[in-house]
């Protein structure tokens, strides 16, 4: 992590590209760590497909927590979004996820940018976010590989 404005997380998942994309965008509520949600036990996490779609956590009590908004949708190759999650919208960052075939697996690249605009707080948030993505992406890989496409 040398660019203070961004962080990049790259990893492989042993499933085809289309399945990797589908697990991230359609099954997040099954694998996203509860410790990294706002409700602590969401009923669902939804990526509304297409540009302008919301990313929303729905609590079991009916509450909704908007995590972001889709800015690019190229299924199954990439998805980009403004990422708010637990922050004020003025502190939003941008995430670009790409999915590329790599032999029998899929290479996933997550790039999050916009930390420099947060001033001094950006460096601290970037480091915390780096650690959080480790937990999130590990849970994603475990779920995707445990339930491969049929």
Q: One digit per residue, pLDDT tens: the chain, 150 residues? A: 568 899 999 999 999 999 999 999 999 999 999 999 999 999 999 999 999 999 999 999 999 999 999 999 999 999 999 999 989 999 999 999 999 999 999 999 999 999 999 998 999 999 999 999 999 999 999 999 998 776
Angstrom CA distances, 45 to 22, 30, 89, 137, 145, stand at 13, 8, 19, 15, 20
The CATH superfamily of 6-146 is: START domain (3.30.530.20)
Q: What is the pLDDT of residue 14?
A: 96
- Model pTM score: 0.94
Question: What is the chain's Cα-based Rg?
Answer: 15
Measured between alpha carbons, how far is 18 from 20 in angstroms, rounded to an integer? 5
Q: Where are the domains of the chain?
A: 6-146
């Amino acid at each position: 992590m040398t660019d203070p404005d961004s962080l990049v997380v790259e990893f492989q998942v042993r499933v085809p590209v289309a399945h990797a994309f589908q697990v991230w965008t359609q099954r997040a509520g099954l694998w996203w760590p509860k410790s990294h949600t706002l409700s602590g036990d969401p009923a669902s996490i939804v990526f509304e497909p297409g540009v302008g779609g919301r990313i929303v956590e729905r609590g079991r009590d009916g509450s909704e927590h908007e995590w972001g908004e889709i800015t690019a949708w190229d299924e199954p190759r990439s998805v980009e979004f403004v990422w708010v999650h637990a922050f004020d919208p003025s502190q939003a960052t941008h995430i670009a996820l790409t999915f590329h075939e790599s032999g029998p697996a899929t290479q996933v690249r997550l790039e999050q940018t916009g930390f420099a605009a947060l001033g001094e707080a950006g460096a601290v948030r970037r480091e915390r976010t780096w650690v959080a993505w480790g937990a999130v992406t590990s849970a994603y890989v475990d779920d995707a590989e445990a339930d491969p496409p049929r």
